[in-house]
């Protein structure tokens, strides 16, 4: 059997909310790891060697073996450190399938809508906002079903779907500031509003998530870099 405590590294960026996913999972499991900070515009040799297919972060390196893609990493962490911390994926096959289904739904909807809402075309914002709020309302109903009346999608503690959604919800405040709109409102999705408060206050989460101000500054810097004339 491999020595599971031999070496754990995570390649990523503090401004990458996809990187936050394995960080939350590692914190939940109480796994010590080295966090190797990447620069957005200057990919390290380690990143390129570890993820030669997509060439993007995050990458978990465990015993010198790389694991790529944020939610695949989360599953790997859950299945590798079974004796540490809470289970991240539900034990019931149906609950596990539902967690994966709603994760796939959020991956399909949220990143593209958030990019539109933060983008430079104001005419697209009302329609994107309407779609985003409609997606939140579907997740409001999913939270009631998946949580079985408890705080998190995972029940009493953070689970797989909580981690997946948390990375998207981290962008909501920043998007609201950048676009001058409201997305997450108690009148529309009260359970999700409460869930969000509990998620970001959780000990496994609160110290690793970038602030709204940091995300706004990051987006502003990216836009400036992309719009700058080529030299």
**Domain holding 14: CATH number?**
3.40.30.10
Per the structure, the complete domain to which residue 62 belongs is given by 8-80
The C-alpha atoms of residue 199 and residue 154 are separated, in whole angstroms, by 11
Indicate the number of domains in the chain: 2
CATH of the domain at 154: 1.20.1050.10
Q: In which band, very low, low, confident or very high, does the pLDDT at 224 lie, cut at 50, 70 and 90? A: confident
* pLDDT tops 50 at residue 1: no
- CA atoms of 14 and 27, how far apart (whole Å): 15
207 within domain boundaries:
yes
Tens of pLDDT along 90-146?
A: 999 999 999 999 999 999 999 888 888 877 665 688 888 999 999 999 999 999 999
5 has a pLDDT exceeding 60? no
pLDDT digits (tens, 9 = 90+) for 184-218: 999 999 999 999 999 999 999 999 999 999 999 98
167 SS3 class? helix
Phi/psi for 196 (5° steps) reads -60, -45
Per the confidence metrics, is the pTM higher than 0.85?
yes
Question: Which of these three, 31, 52, 80, is where a domain ends?
Answer: 80
E strand intervals along 126-218: none
Q: What is the DSSP letter of 155?
A: B
Burial of 79 (0-12, 13-18, 19+ CB in 10 A): exposed
- Whether residue 141 sits in one domain with residue 74: no
């Amino acid at each position: 059997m491999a020595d599971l405590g031999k070496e754990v590294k995570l390649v990523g960026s503090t401004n990458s909310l996809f990187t936050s996913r394995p960080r939350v999972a590692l914190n939940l499991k109480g796994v010590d790891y080295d966090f190797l900070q990447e620069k957005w515009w200057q990919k390290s040799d380690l990143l390129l060697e570890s993820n030669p297919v997509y060439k993007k972060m995050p990458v978990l390196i465990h015993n010198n073996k790389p694991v790529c893609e944020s939610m695949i990493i989360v599953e790997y962490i859950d299945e590798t450190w079974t004796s540490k911390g809470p289970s991240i994926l539900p034990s019931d096959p149906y609950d596990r399938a539902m967690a994966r289904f709603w994760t796939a739904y959020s991956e399909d909807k949220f990143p593209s809508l958030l990019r539109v809402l933060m983008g430079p075309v104001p005419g697209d914002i009302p329609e994107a906002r309407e779609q985003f709020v409609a997606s939140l309302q579907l997740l409001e109903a999913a939270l009631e079903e998946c949580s079985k009346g408890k705080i998190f999608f995972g029940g009493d503690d953070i689970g797989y779907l909580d981690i997946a959604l948390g990375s998207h919800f981290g962008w909501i405040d920043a998007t609201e500031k950048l676009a001058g709109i409201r997305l997450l409102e108690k009148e529309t999705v009260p359970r999700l509003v409460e869930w969000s408060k509990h998620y970001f206050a959780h000990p496994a989460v609160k110290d690793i998530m970038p602030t709204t101000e940091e995300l706004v500054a990051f987006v502003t810097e990216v836009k400036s870099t992309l719009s700058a004339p080529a030299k």
